[in-house]
Structure formats: C-alpha cells, structure tokens
Amino acid sequence: MKKHLVIVESPAKAKTIEKYLGNTYEVMSSFGHIRDLPKKNLSIDVKNNFEPTYQISAEKQKIVNGLKKSTKSAQDVWLASDEDREGEAIAWHLCEALGLDPKKTKRIVFHEITKPAISHAIENPRTIDINLVNAQQARRILDRLVGYELSPVLWKKVRPGLSAGRVQSVAVRLIVEREREINDFKAKDNYKVTANFVASNDEFVSELNAKFDTDENTRRFLKDCIGAKFTVSKIDKKPGTRSSGAPFTTSSLQQEAARRLGYSVKQTMTLAQRLYESGHITYMRTDSTLLSNQALAEAKSYITSKYGAKYHNQRQFKTKQSNAQEAHEAIRPTNFSNQNIAGDEGQNKLYKLIWNRTLASQMSNAELARTEVSIKISSRPELFISKGEIVIFDGFMKVYGRKGEDVILPELTLNQSLKPKQILGRQTFSKPSARYSEASLVRQLEELGIGRPSTYAPTISTIQTRGYVEKKDLEAKEREIKVLSLINEKIEESTEIDNYGADRAKLVPTPLANVTTDFLTKHFAPIVNYDFTAHAEKDLDLIAEGSEKWVDMISKFYSSFHKLVEKSETVSRKESTQTRELGVDPSTKKPVFARYGRYGPMLQRGEVTDEDKPTFASLPENTTLDNVTLEDALEMFKLPRDVGKTDEGELITSNIGRFGPYIKVGKTFVSIKTLDPLTITEKEANKLYKEKKKEIDNKYIKVFKGGIKVVNGPYGPYVTNGKRNVKVSDDKKAESITEKEAKELLLQAPIRKAPHRRKKAKARAKK
C-alpha cells in the first residue's frame, strides 16, 4: 500500500511525529534548507530583476535523492516544515527540487509536537503561501548583497579576509561603542552612610536616605550625630509579591545558563541539542514563550499532586519580541515527571534548569511581608531607613530563583529610641555600563530584532574568529577609598583599598574592530544603523502580506546601497587605516605616523615615497592609535636594541613583534612577557635564554633518520614525520621507542582532512 509522505525539518521531530501518525504515514526530514545561493559567487543577477541562482549543496544532495525516491513511491506528499518565513521557503524549495507542483502540494503546520496539534494540522492542509516565500527570498537576497558587496570593500580598504554583514557588523558595533563608553567614563564619587543600631540585643543595619558629595559634608553629618537622639519615626508594613519568569526561549536559556551555570552560548546550545535529540526537551531554537495546552495540563497535575493546588497558577506568557515568529513552543521538558535524566553532568544541569523554570512559570507568586522602618535624627533632617523582608509563602520559589534570604528586623515600636553602635561614611564610585558577555550581547541583539535563535551562537563565534572581538577576563584595578567612622562619639578617618573592575568572560573589541566599525559607520551608516533590520522587517512583512513586490523592495534598497559601495572606492588608504601624523622625529627629520597596518596597529617613520624605505615599529603597550604620542613612538624606534652577549659571546637583541616583546639570539626567539625590551638587562636576558635552551633540548626525545622524531608536545609525547602526528599511547615510554616502532605508528596515523586544508588555505591567504 502506498503511504503518505510527510516532510519535516528536523529528524528528531520526524521520529516523534511518525509515532503519532501511525503506519499509513512515512515521515522524513529535510535537515533544514536543502538549497541555497552557492558560496563561491554572488549568484544574483542584479541586472535581471535580481534573479537568484539556487543550488542544492553537496552535503544535501544525498538527502534530496532520498526524498525524491520516497516521493515517487508515495501516495501523496505533505510539506510540514516550520510555520515561519524560512519554513515556507523550505517547503517551496522542496517542491522545486522534488518536482512537485507548489499550487497543489499539501502544506501543513504545527507549533507544537503533540498529538492533537498534529491531527488538527492533518485535517487542515493548505497550499504554499508564495508571498511568504518571497519575503524569505528578499531576506536571503538582501543579506547576500550586503555580505558579498561589503566584505570585498573591507578586503581592499582594511584587510583581506574580513567579513561584514547585516547582523555581525552591528554586533561588533555594539561592542566597540560600549568599550568606548567605558573608556570615556568618568567615575563620580560620593559618600554613602550606614548605621548599625541595636534593639533588644539584635544588631541591624540602616542606610541614610541621602548621600554626601564631599568628605567634609560627611564629617559634618557625623559631627552632628554626636549626642543626637535617634528615634523610630515610622514603621511601614505592606505585603509584596514576586512572580516567576516566562518559560525559556533560546535567548533567555542562553542568558540563564551563562549566569547560573557559567556556560558559553555554544556550550548551552550543544547540550540542549543532545537533550532534544534524546527526547527530553522540546525544540531548543525558539523565540516563543508559549506552552502547549498539553504541557499546561501536565504541569498542573504535577504541581497539584506534588506541592498542592495552592502552588498552581496556570499562565501563558506573551512573547515580547515584535519580530518573533513563534513557529515552536517555549523550551520545556517533554515529561514533567522526569526530574532527572540519563546523561552527562552538563546535560543534567541544563535539563534541571529548564525543568525548574518551566514548572516555576506555572506556579503561584511568592508572597512577602515587607517592613520599612524610618529612624529620625534629632539634629538633622535626613532619615535612616531599614528594610526587612520575610517570605510568607514561597510559591514558585520552591523550585526556581533565589531562596529568598529573609532580612529580619528586630521588633521595634514607634518613638522607640535607639543607639547607634557605629555610623560609617564610605566613599563610593559610580560604575560605567557593563561590558557585554556572550549572553548579554544576544539579549541586546534580540531586543533590536537582529538575528534569529538559530544564529545567535554562530554569530558570537564569527565575530571572535574574524578577530573583531576577544573573550577576556579583566583584572581588578585598585583605588583608595576614604572611610569616615563615628564610634563611641569619636570621628576617625581611614583609607581602604577598593578592588574594582574585575570581570569574567567579557567581550572586548580589538583594534581591528575599531577600525572596521569606524569605516562602516562613516561610509555605510544605513547598514550598520541599529534599526536597519527593524525597517527591513517591516518591508518583509508587506511582502508577506502581498502588498509589496520583493523585487521592488530589493531594487530600491540596492540602488542606494550600491551607490555607497561605489563611493567607498574613493576612500584613501590613509583614511581607512586611520593614519595619524604624530609629529617629526628630531633625529631623522622624518614624519612619524600611527596607523592600522596589515597585522594590526603600528608606527611608521618616513613616507613610502621616500628614497630609503620607511621603518616600522609596534605600538607601545597600553596605548592605542588614538592616544599614542610622538614621545611614545620615538622610544619604540629605539628597537631592536642590543642587550648584551650570552656566555658564549653571541649577540642578544630585544624587540617587540607580532606576539609581544621578545629577545633574540641567533635564530632563537624568547618571549619576555613581563619585561620591557627597552630596559631588560643582559643578566635577565641570559637567564631567560638559558631556560629556553633547556626547553628546546627537552623538546625532542628522540630524533631518527628521515625526519622522524619523538616530540614532547603540549598534550604529551607524540611521533611525527612532519606531515603526520601520532600520540604515543600512555602505557608506552616515549624514551624507549625504536625507529621501527615509530614508523609503524606513523602508518596508522589518520590522514588529516578538511579542517586541515582550510587552515592551509587561510595561511596562503595571509601571504
């Protein structure tokens, strides 16, 4: 008997759906898009109505062949890709590739993988919505035009191999601008005053409702407090509530997993993918906070039976993002009764987070009792305020959120008089905006409507691999703060060391990002504007409604965009590399420039047109192209410098290179991480050189004929012939390996494939 063929996007989904549909249906998967614009060139005929040329990519050919075969033997075909722009396009591409008539082939959609949803879908087929397909084509073509016309401009004007795009260039811009904001930030200081009172043997803290701008004013306040009377002037008790957050979307899951578990967005997505494939959670790339009716009902029964009806509060959270497509449910457990799952530690932690969050979203608000006590000072108008908070009913906090650390104030009565044990006035500084983490950048992009759940993690990777952004731990800086204290009616002043600015895994822009962003914001402002995507989305909506033609939208965009591309050709290299003349070197009478070079920021002395070639030097540490001075630069031109001689009488020189400061003896380079090449002494240099020599002597455990070596590598000993590397197994002693054994090991070595080739191609490109 011929079966009905249903095609979905995800193979994991296919398995589940097949179970629900029974054996008269065969469910197959397209593994996402099956056709796309070829990578090697633009593949858009801009002179012929932007006609795109699509191609089935090599890795999808097999899948398409399989689908074709099943199509031929099937009774009919049902296209069940996701209900969004991309899903509609996938359905249309499937028609094109499988030879189906888009006007006749059945198209079905479901937002959730539950039996009722699937039955409902099967009963209500429609045909492909070509307007929605065209909106996707417009999106695709727009992105290709921007990416493939803008990137080559950067190759010419900034550096080969760079990339620019509607999403990534804005992501980089956000990071560049945040860093500049932080650098320009001037911290303001003021004085925060706290008092420790004692009542019925309990000590509690109170904070003054005013801050002082100077230490003098703080001192005056403390002085006024000597001999003053402190009385409770107001006790305000009121109830409060706290409510749970919405179930997870991709973006909120990435943020919470980073905050609570310390995962990178990539780690989170890999773990979630495993959980999805093993059937523990629903789809992990979603922008919706909605739960299926089935999930709502299951949560209800689980919560009522486990915690009692009082804890249940059924709720559906509206998705806030305006561009959300809501093709899927929120990320939730597929079965609430699974509190734990079989899987590694990472999967378990992430699962638990999802389980807790989903359940909490269906639980009651927490109820709190809040108390605010005001304490009057007889000699001053300000008030000391103490706040207490007690959890009366924990509600959702039973499973999610901080376990409400109660702040309990002692029993106080109106007009009660209090004695301060101590009053402190502490200098505090205002803080600049925080640097972006991976997750907070995703949140910002989502807020701007830029990027999709499936691209957040790859975008974060791209901007790092292109060298625009680095993930860094930032060390704390120290500053002195003043502390004024009033104890036993005596005022004392002291200083404390305040460690500030320490931060983990934050995104920091490189000089390349600064140069590129400045270039793009100056010459391609419309593309890197924060609302470019939002405007484009409005047009895409019009196309999807059928009230605008996609070719009109693209053609309108392209005519203005392409003009910018043409105009950018006239931008001088001097401008695009941000060349700045620092002054003239008094000894050579040549001009000194700071600019962005082939390998990063650099200094140049003399012009290219000079008879003798210009000389180059690195930027001194802790300076940038914007703030480096002529004096700084002249110091750098003292390099390379003769440091002295080794014990064997060889010359030692010092310099700064691509990988930082180094000393050089013959052909041996030694990094000097903390020392300054301008001041390093002969003695220091010799010590480092000897250590390096020892390391080199230890590197080769054995050297055989024909270039075969046993090498002490960073991951343990390995055998190499220069082409292939084989790890020496742990049970073997590297020192005892014979030439014969080494040869045998090399024969077993795997041939390095694609990633290796790619690396080589990159290396070639650099040259």
Partner DNA sequence: CAGTGAGCGAGCTTCCGCTTGACTT
What's the gap between Cα 656 and its chain centre?
31
CA distance 523 to 29: 44
Rank residues 26 and 84 by Cβ distance to DNA and give the closer one: 84
Please, what is the Cα angle at 404 between 402 and 410, to 5 degrees? 155
* 283 labelled catalytic: yes
**CB-side exposure of 622: number of CA atoms within 13 Å?**
1
**545: burial class by Cβ within 10 Å (0-12, 13-18, 19+)?**
exposed
CA distance 337 to 343: 16
Q: What's the min distance (Å) between Cβ of 611 and DNA?
A: 12
CA distance 97 to 475: 55
**Piece in contact with DNA (CB under 7 A), picked from 18-26, 125-133, 413-421, 612-620:** 612-620
Rank residues 195 and 528 by Cβ distance to DNA and give the closer one: 528
Residue 590 contacts DNA per CB under 7 A: no
Question: Which structure tokens are listed for 9?
Answer: 């996007």
Residues 742-761 that bind DNA (CB under 7 A): 750, 752-756, 761
Residues 40-69 that bind DNA (CB under 7 A): 40-41
**Piece in contact with DNA (CB under 7 A), picked from 72-80, 181-189, 255-263, 451-459:** 451-459
Q: What's the min distance (Å) between Cβ of 601 and DNA?
A: 7
Residues in the chain, overall count: 767
**Piece in contact with DNA (CB under 7 A), picked from 206-214, 368-376, 609-617, 621-629:** 609-617
CA distance 763 to 280: 43
Rank residues 208 and 670 by Cβ distance to DNA and give the closer one: 670
The closest alpha carbon to 510, from 462, 474, 476, 466, belongs to 466
**294: burial class by Cβ within 10 Å (0-12, 13-18, 19+)?**
middle
Q: What's the min distance (Å) between Cβ of 300 and DNA?
A: 28
Residues 202-221 that bind DNA (CB under 7 A): none
Determine which residue in the list 3, 20, 31, 585 makes contact with DNA, applying CB under 7 A. Answer: 31
Q: How far is CA 157 from CA 170, 175, 439, 563, 662, in A?
A: 19, 22, 32, 17, 31
Q: How far is CA 739 from CA 612, 707, 715, 745, 750, in A?
A: 53, 11, 22, 10, 19
Rank residues 437 and 604 by Cβ distance to DNA and give the closer one: 604
Cβ neighbour number for residue 59 with a 10 Å cutoff: 8
Determine which residue in the list 28, 78, 85, 122 makes contact with DNA, applying CB under 7 A. Answer: 85
Rank residues 207 and 277 by Cβ distance to DNA and give the closer one: 277
**Piece in contact with DNA (CB under 7 A), picked from 4-12, 116-124, 188-196, 226-234:** 4-12
The closest alpha carbon to 520, from 267, 5, 154, belongs to 154
Rank residues 90 and 281 by Cβ distance to DNA and give the closer one: 90
Q: What's the min distance (Å) between Cβ of 501 and DNA?
A: 26
Rank residues 105 and 459 by Cβ distance to DNA and give the closer one: 459
Residues 658-717 that bind DNA (CB under 7 A): 658-662, 669-671, 715
Cβ neighbour number for residue 494 with a 10 Å cutoff: 9
**Piece in contact with DNA (CB under 7 A), picked from 78-86, 185-193, 513-521, 642-650:** 78-86
Determine which residue in the list 244, 358, 440, 462 makes contact with DNA, applying CB under 7 A. Answer: 462
Q: How far is CA 452 from CA 254, 442, 691, in A?
A: 13, 10, 51
CA distance 612 to 492: 67
Q: What's the min distance (Å) between Cβ of 460 and DNA?
A: 11
Residue 579 contacts DNA per CB under 7 A: no
Determine which residue in the list 602, 625, 634, 719 makes contact with DNA, applying CB under 7 A. Answer: 602
Rank residues 241 and 707 by Cβ distance to DNA and give the closer one: 707
Residue 280 contacts DNA per CB under 7 A: no
The closest alpha carbon to 243, from 360, 102, 89, belongs to 360
What's the gap between Cα 738 and its chain centre?
48
Q: What's the min distance (Å) between Cβ of 38 and DNA?
A: 8
What is the per-residue binding string for DNA in 620-659, x denoting contact by CB under 7 A? -----------------------------------xxxxx
3-state helix/strand/coil string of 451-509: CCCCCHHHHHHHHHHCCCEEEEEECCEEEEEEEEEEECCEEEEEEEEEEECCEEEEEEE
Q: Classify 217 as helix, strand or coil.
A: helix
Q: How far is CA 376 from CA 97, 188, 303, 417, in A?
A: 80, 28, 47, 9
Residues 149-178 that bind DNA (CB under 7 A): 151-152, 155, 160-169
Q: What's the min distance (Å) between Cβ of 481 and DNA?
A: 38
Determine which residue in the list 144, 173, 280, 357 makes contact with DNA, applying CB under 7 A. Answer: 144
Q: What's the min distance (Å) between Cβ of 593 and DNA?
A: 11
Determine which residue in the list 32, 279, 343, 388 makes contact with DNA, applying CB under 7 A. Answer: 32
Rank residues 101 and 344 by Cβ distance to DNA and give the closer one: 344
Residue 283 contacts DNA per CB under 7 A: yes
Residue 326 contacts DNA per CB under 7 A: no
**Piece in contact with DNA (CB under 7 A), picked from 83-91, 202-210, 306-314, 402-410:** 83-91
Residues that bind DNA (rule: CB under 7 A) add up to a total of: 91
Classify strands 4-8 and 76-79 as parallel, antiparallel or unpaired.
parallel
Rank residues 391 and 749 by Cβ distance to DNA and give the closer one: 749
CA distance 701 to 575: 52
**Piece in contact with DNA (CB under 7 A), picked from 217-225, 314-322, 406-414, 594-602:** 594-602
Catalytic annotation, pick one of 283, 468, 558, 596: 283
Rank residues 12 and 505 by Cβ distance to DNA and give the closer one: 12
Q: What's the min distance (Å) between Cβ of 617 and DNA?
A: 6
The strand order across the sheet containing 615-618 reads: 580-584, 591-597, 600-605, 615-618
Residues 538-577 that bind DNA (CB under 7 A): 573
Residues 336-365 that bind DNA (CB under 7 A): none
Q: What's the min distance (Å) between Cβ of 14 and DNA?
A: 9
Question: Residues with Cβ < 8 Å from 211, sequence gap 6 or more?
Answer: 190, 191, 192, 193, 428
Residues 296-315 that bind DNA (CB under 7 A): none
257, 281 in Cβ contact below 8 A? Answer: no
Determine which residue in the list 361, 444, 517, 618 makes contact with DNA, applying CB under 7 A. Answer: 618
Q: Classify 316 as helix, strand or coil.
A: coil
Residues 419-438 that bind DNA (CB under 7 A): none
**Piece in contact with DNA (CB under 7 A), picked from 24-32, 96-104, 420-428, 739-747:** 24-32
Residue 325 contacts DNA per CB under 7 A: yes
Rank residues 327 and 359 by Cβ distance to DNA and give the closer one: 327
Determine which residue in the list 33, 357, 376, 590 makes contact with DNA, applying CB under 7 A. Answer: 33
The closest alpha carbon to 5, from 36, 17, 83, 116, belongs to 17
- Is the alpha carbon torsion for 430, 436, 442, 447 positive or negative? positive
Secondary structure letter of residue 248 according to DSSP: B
Question: Which structure tokens are listed for 546?
Answer: 């059928």
Rank residues 308 and 659 by Cβ distance to DNA and give the closer one: 659
Classify strands 4-8 and 725-727 as parallel, antiparallel or unpaired.
unpaired
Residues marked as catalytic: 283
